[in-house]
Structure 1
Amino acid sequence: MPTGPQTSGSTLLPSLWDEAHAAGLDEPGRLLYRSNLLGADKRITNYGGGNTSAKVIEKDPLTGRDVTVLWVKGSGGDVGTMKRDGFSTLYQDKLEALKSLYRGADFEDEMVGYLPHCTFNLNPRAASIDTPLHAYLPYTHVDHMHPDAVIAIAASDNSREMTRQIFGDEIGWLPWRRPGFQLGLDLSAFARENPDAKGIVLESHGLFTWGETARDCYETTLRIINTAIAFLDEKTAGVAAFGGARVEPLDAAARREIAARLMPEIRARIGRDERKIGHFDDGDAVLTFVGSNDLAKLAPLGTSCPDHFLRTKIRPLVLDFDPAKGDVDAVLAGLDDAIAAYRADYTRYYESCRHDDSPAMRDPNPVVYLVPGVGMMTFAKDKATARIAGEFYVNAINVMRGAQAVGTYRGLPEQEAFDIEYWLLEEAKLQRMPKPKSLAGRIAFITGGGGGIGRATAERLLSDGACVVLADIDVEALERVKTEMSERFSADMVRAVPLNVTEEAGVIASFAEMAVEYGGADILVSNAGISSSAPIETTELSMWNRNIDILATGYFLVSREAFRLFRRQQLGGAVVFIASKNGLAASPGAAAYCTAKAAEIHLARCLALEGADAGIRVNVVNPDAVLQGSKIWTGEWREQRAAAYNMAPDELEEHYRKRSMLKRSVLPSDVAEAVAFLAGDASAKSTGNIVNVDAGNAQSFTR
């Protein structure tokens, strides 16, 4: 599984500019092209960080006159993946007019309210707080990036001297200031006083560069970053990172095994008010840092760049673990105290830095967990946010390594960090975010995930915000569904594990894999299935055993593992068995299948009794005759059932439709709808139930 991008300064950034391609684009198109190139490499800027702009001559839709329009990345976008509609467009002359309204640094936030009045052509994309930083630089093209190599210099205690030593007069330096209107004016003043400069380093923040053409700006940005990379490479050559290794990393298998044990336990302690999704990273940069002598000194200092700590909180939690001893139980025993201490310190940070109008304290739990010899675990409200938080902390690790090489690393003072984390404008942005979907933060494990019902169930749960782990013995079908769901939703939200549900070791391993990938589990949809049809006289023992193995033993094995994980997390859980009408209503020539399905239903009843005390709900969906997309209806089963009813195979679907009381066909999506209900909070007070999805069959009435 991927562990996220591992940035390294050992390779200089290549120019990827294609002039033939760029020549066919208009000016905004070249801005977008430049932006996407810059954002594609995490050494240049982190996800969602930095911004780009161009001042473009356009026709005013009201007057028809040529006007200068600032195209600048809008609020909340990502330069690497944004499209053309990700840019805000504002009249440059109106932005200039805002200077006369500015009342000073104490009133800076009110300037954001004026930005919508500067909108060009009714563009709905909201302008970001960084808009004045671009508007008031007297250059056509401007890049603001967060390169690890430059922030390493910006975050060192001798940042100003290092900037001059490395770049001379070509790149200036400004002391730390929170992004906003005043910083835009500061940049403007610097440019006016230093007309030959090509850019500027912002202390503890990042890099600004500029140029008269899109290509010139892009290549200047690369050149300045490469100069910083080369300088740091020279300084770090032959020098042990972070004071050298204090502990050696465990092998990859042992690291994942420990992560599988720790992550559900962490999730249990931080997910009671809001479910969390985890991400694990044991890349080289992480392992070097967590195993170093300087870990205890550097980790408490926190991150420097505002974009970093907004994602990671100001500092991580380092768990006390000695990989040489390997005592995971000791870590688990100390987890409550470790997290409680972090919460207490975060509360102190909030109370000591808060203002009278500060928003209420947010979730005080850690986001980043560092484990010597093992790696880094990050937790957030969804997988993408957890993964990105980890990527940001890798950026922070690279920054600390570089800063220590040229001086002494400095994180932002707590008050400065707080004033950004709890900035009223940042709070307003958070309040504008859409409400989470009903299954956001939930993790579902679906057996038989490569089949029609499994696919439909995955689609339904994903649409409600759940992360899904698909499991199936049919690897080809499994990969096909995984690819489709990843493309439709997000690769972050879907994982696949090949699994034979009758193999105990495989079931245990698949749940451990889910724990590493997502941090735990909340939903089990036990759907693996086969079918068989034969009179009892010709039913072979192998057929009988195969039905029992998959439909009874297999359901037992995955349920047992789910229960173990649910109880460790202490967050409850939902189990849904996909049984069959045949589990309640006998059918001729299918004794093995019907008996195994009946065993499923009774197993679910037993588990509902056992799980209730832990908030684990167990329910059953009983479909009938789901022919569409079903793998079990593509082989001999179709012919066998047709023969049992003395009809052609192609007549079966119509036969089942007419046989139903409602005279309707049952589709995989119908089954998935029932699963979604039983897995979600709408059925929070239901357990031990059977929901028939069979278009009506009196024989399978439960009462």
Structure 2
Amino acid sequence: MTATPHPEVRALLERSNRLGSDPRTTNYAGGNTSAKALGTDPVTGADTELLWVKGSGGDLGTLTEGGLAVLRLDRLRALTAGYPGVEREDEMVAAFDYCLHGRGGAAPSIDTAMHGLVDAAHVDHLHPDSGIALACAADGEELTKECFGDTVVWVPWRRPGFQLGLDIAAAKEANPQAVGCVLGGHGITAWGATSAQCEANSLHIIRTAEDFLRTRGKAEPFGPLLAGFGPLTEAERRARAAALAPVLRALASTDRPQVGHFTDSGVVLDFLSRAEHPRLAALGTSCPDHFLRTKVRPLLLDLPPTAPLDEAIARLRALHQDYRAAYAAYYDRHAGPGSPAMRGADPAVVLVPGVGMFTYGKDKQTARVAGEFYVNAINVMRGAEAVSAYRPIDEAEKFRIEYWELEEAKLRRMPAPRPLATRIALVTGAGSGIGRAIAHRLAAEGACVVVADRDTAGAEAVAGELGGPDTAVAVTVDVTDEEQIRAAFDAALLAFGGVDLVVNNAGISISKPLLETAAADWDRQHAIMARGSFLVSREAARVMTAQGLGGDIVYIASKNAVFAGPNNIAYSAAKADQAHQVRLLAAELGGDGIRVNGVNPDGVVRGSGIFAGGWGAQRAAVYGVAEDKLGEFYAQRTLLKREVLPEHVANAVFALTGGDLTHTTGLHIPVDAGVAAAFLR
């Protein structure tokens, strides 16, 4: 039975979830909250003062008790006696482990000192856009006093750590009337005697700053509209973004593969249409939470959206080379003998005026959050420019944060990526049966999955099963329709930035003797499987060659591609066509690093959309068995006497694409439990 949380912990969690669920209050995974109260020492049974504080990582909006670090307050405060000074303050993070209460809960974060040393029962540290706008204004200290009087004090920029905790504690002690502070270049901290009072003080600071920026600020802080840089229409933006996406993903993946995210929100488009956007973008982001995700500055295309596509692509390639050189120079300027190695010189944010913003990360969530953080940065710039001038912390301080050994240690603790991490898969016929099983397996191995099916409801259901838009999206596509195929790939490009792995699985089955097979049967069977696979593979090759990252195309063919079964002319001939497409495309696309392989299943009855759609009844009639015994019948005619399930086909797809068969192309893997007549020769 789970123990009932301490009343103050329950209040802390409720407050944290409310604050974290409002984007005006703090960004995703940003900020931390805490509570102090008496708890029971498990050894002596005596009361002891404890600190519950959000641990390293996690998000306030979804914080649970397991995400809190629990420390003994007497031991934490005793650390001040042995504090070696700001030059060695990083050593204090390891010392927090010696202050843990019992098992301690989550790992303490760098901000633990801020909460433990401040003399208040409840403390909130948040990153609201309005607060950071004041924190990053050229005259932020004066503006803070003008906005709040003496109820909120200014604490000059200090890198997060033990010394910042001491600074805030001293500011509170020297200003007993204050309810919080603005941290230069960083965010805000508020406190209170109760959880409700602390939350009220946090919201007071945020809303008062919002009102101040709105009423005191000038109307157009980003300057007038820049001629020719206004937004394209929505349809034009999406088409242009899809055309640029594979090229941009290739650039962003120069050092290591990345997943992409695209947004054409009004905030982004307005910023990029204004005269001051080149100056402000060059200044980069400021709040440490922001630039750890966005890098110190974005890559900005300096052409209007009406420039010819080829010209825009050529310019982006040139700007990318300049960006890499500038980033390497930034690293060389500030790196010391003990600095971590440069992690990569590619941009995390690419801004394209009139079109939108592309952001990149190790997975979809990271890429999406980078975009959200840059929107936060735009809001901060707007607020700071409205009342003053945007002045982020200097480059050297940004480097100290980005290449902080404590951040590096956090990265080293991250689990190893799954085999298909950063890979983007599109699976046709994925709304049921074999396709659904393939989609599930690829997602489980770390891929982002585009669930493509003619059945919209089925595709959406599978995408939901896989976890939603950070893992999978559904697209409606009839593989006989070139426009729908192109639209499906465009949707993949806009959702995840590219496509690396395509599975041709969509199909139907018509089981009739030759003399009963109409030309319409033949045409429909071949239109979906032979022609459909060709059209999908052609579009896949177009995207993959534009990316220049290689890729995989897998055909779900059939044992029938090589085995002559009865009453099956249309289906088997279409499967034979698919099988030869594997060989032809493997030969043609190998020079681009695109591997093309196939899987030859047989007798996949359970869970199969094809068999449930009438094929099972037809084949059962051919073999003279009951339809519900068809799977057993197929199993008994195999060498292994085992029934083949959709999951077994999915396993073969993963075997071909999971990284162990990097030098294999043009192969067909039988998944038929052993049908000797279908052995490949």
State whether TM-score is above 0.5. Answer: yes
Q: Does 1:329 align with 2:310?
A: yes
Tell me the residue number matched to 1:314.
296
The Cα shift of 1:163 comes to 0.5
Check the 8 A contact 1:582/1:598 in 2, yes or no: yes
Tell me the residue number matched to 1:439.
420
Tell me the residue number matched to 1:145.
126
Tell me the residue number matched to 1:367.
348
Tell me the residue number matched to 1:11.
none
Tell me the residue number matched to 2:361.
380
The Cα shift of 1:335 comes to 2.3
RMSD (Å), alpha carbons: 1.3
Inter-partner Cα distance in structure 1 for 2:641 and 2:614: 25
Check the 8 A contact 1:526/1:558 in 2, yes or no: yes
Inter-partner Cα distance in structure 1 for 2:100 and 2:162: 17
The Cα shift of 1:272 comes to 4.2
Tell me the residue number matched to 2:567.
589
Check the 8 A contact 2:246/2:543 in 1, yes or no: yes
Inter-partner Cα distance in structure 2 for 1:150 and 1:248: 29
The Cα shift of 1:241 comes to 4.0
1:243 partner SS: coil
Q: Which of 263, 274, 280 is equivalent to 1:292?
A: 274
The Cα shift of 1:549 comes to 0.3
Inter-partner Cα distance in structure 1 for 2:454 and 2:97: 55
What is the identity percentage for the equivalent residue pairs of Structure 1 and Structure 2? 50
Cα 1:25/1:285, change in 2 over 3 Å: farther
Check the 8 A contact 1:72/1:89 in 2, yes or no: yes
> What is the correspondence of 1:385-404 to structure 2 with a 5 Å cutoff?
385-404=366-385
Residue by residue over 1:190-226, the C-alpha shift from the partner in whole angstroms, topping out at 9 and shown as x without a partner, is: 1111111100000111111111111111122112211
2:291 partner SS: helix
TM-score (norm 1): 0.95
Greater mean deviation of Cα atoms: 150-159 or 241-250? 241-250
Q: Which of 595, 598, 607 is equivalent to 1:629?
A: 607
> What is the correspondence of 1:29-48 to structure 2 with a 5 Å cutoff?
29-48=10-29
Inter-partner Cα distance in structure 1 for 2:278 and 2:167: 37
The Cα shift of 1:526 comes to 0.5
Amino acid at match of 1:610: E
Check the 8 A contact 1:467/1:493 in 2, yes or no: yes
Tell me the residue number matched to 1:425.
406
2:412 partner SS: helix
Tell me the residue number matched to 1:194.
175
Check the 8 A contact 1:444/1:524 in 2, yes or no: yes
Inter-partner Cα distance in structure 1 for 2:611 and 2:279: 62
2:555 partner SS: strand
The Cα shift of 1:680 comes to 2.3
Inter-partner Cα distance in structure 2 for 1:188 and 1:682: 55
Inter-partner Cα distance in structure 1 for 2:166 and 2:629: 77
Inter-partner Cα distance in structure 1 for 2:221 and 2:533: 50
The Cα shift of 1:273 comes to 3.7
The Cα shift of 1:673 comes to 0.4
Tell me the residue number matched to 2:63.
82
Inter-partner Cα distance in structure 1 for 2:5 and 2:57: 28
The Cα shift of 1:639 comes to 1.3
Residue by residue over 1:470-499, the C-alpha shift from the partner in whole angstroms, topping out at 9 and shown as x without a partner, is: 10001121111111112xxx5301011100
Check the 8 A contact 1:300/1:315 in 2, yes or no: yes
Q: Does 1:675 align with 2:644?
A: no
Amino acid at match of 1:262: L
Residue by residue over 1:487-525, the C-alpha shift from the partner in whole angstroms, topping out at 9 and shown as x without a partner, is: xxx530101110000001111111112111111111011
Check the 8 A contact 2:122/2:193 in 1, yes or no: yes
Q: Does 1:243 align with 2:223?
A: yes
4+ residue runs over 2 A deviation: none
Q: Which of 225, 237, 241 is equivalent to 1:255?
A: 237
Residue by residue over 1:354-382, the C-alpha shift from the partner in whole angstroms, topping out at 9 and shown as x without a partner, is: 12211111111111111111111111111
- Structure 1 unaligned segments of length 5 or more: list them: 1-22
Check the 8 A contact 2:460/2:473 in 1, yes or no: no
Residue by residue over 1:392-448, the C-alpha shift from the partner in whole angstroms, topping out at 9 and shown as x without a partner, is: 000000000000001000011000101111111111111111111111111001000
Inter-partner Cα distance in structure 1 for 2:578 and 2:445: 27
Tell me the residue number matched to 1:119.
100
2:478 partner SS: coil
Q: Which of 474, 493, 496 is equivalent to 2:455?
A: 474
Inter-partner Cα distance in structure 2 for 1:241 and 1:685: 55
Check the 8 A contact 2:252/2:348 in 1, yes or no: no
The Cα shift of 1:462 comes to 0.8
Inter-partner Cα distance in structure 2 for 1:485 and 1:537: 44
Inter-partner Cα distance in structure 2 for 1:236 and 1:197: 25
> What is the correspondence of 1:476-491 to structure 2 with a 5 Å cutoff?
476-486=457-467, 490-491=468-469
Check the 8 A contact 2:220/2:386 in 1, yes or no: no
The Cα shift of 1:149 comes to 0.7
Tell me the residue number matched to 2:436.
455
Check the 8 A contact 1:573/1:615 in 2, yes or no: yes
Inter-partner Cα distance in structure 2 for 1:519 and 1:122: 42
2:502 partner SS: strand
2:475 partner SS: strand
2:104 partner SS: coil
The Cα shift of 1:270 comes to 3.1
Inter-partner Cα distance in structure 2 for 1:149 and 1:497: 38
Amino acid at match of 1:289: F
Tell me the residue number matched to 2:496.
518
The Cα shift of 1:99 comes to 0.6
Inter-partner Cα distance in structure 2 for 1:96 and 1:171: 24
Cα 1:155/1:273, change in 2 over 3 Å: closer
Check the 8 A contact 1:302/1:412 in 2, yes or no: no
Inter-partner Cα distance in structure 2 for 1:648 and 1:78: 55
The Cα shift of 1:58 comes to 0.4
Inter-partner Cα distance in structure 1 for 2:8 and 2:31: 20
Amino acid at match of 1:281: T
Inter-partner Cα distance in structure 1 for 2:343 and 2:627: 60
Inter-partner Cα distance in structure 1 for 2:614 and 2:340: 64
Check the 8 A contact 2:255/2:345 in 1, yes or no: no
Q: Does 1:180 align with 2:161?
A: yes
Amino acid at match of 2:46: R
Greater mean deviation of Cα atoms: 350-359 or 308-317? 350-359
Q: Does 1:533 align with 2:515?
A: no
Inter-partner Cα distance in structure 1 for 2:483 and 2:285: 42
Check the 8 A contact 2:456/2:474 in 1, yes or no: no
Check the 8 A contact 1:272/1:571 in 2, yes or no: no
Q: Does 1:269 align with 2:247?
A: no
1:576 partner SS: strand
1:533 partner SS: coil
Cα 1:402/1:460, change in 2 over 3 Å: same
Tell me the residue number matched to 2:544.
566
Check the 8 A contact 2:254/2:346 in 1, yes or no: no
Inter-partner Cα distance in structure 1 for 2:6 and 2:516: 72
Check the 8 A contact 1:281/1:390 in 2, yes or no: yes
* Aligned residue pairs, count: 676
Check the 8 A contact 2:68/2:105 in 1, yes or no: no
Inter-partner Cα distance in structure 2 for 1:330 and 1:49: 39
The Cα shift of 1:25 comes to 7.3
The Cα shift of 1:24 comes to 10
Greater mean deviation of Cα atoms: 513-522 or 171-180? 513-522
Amino acid at match of 1:411: P
The Cα shift of 1:649 comes to 1.1
Inter-partner Cα distance in structure 2 for 1:636 and 1:441: 38
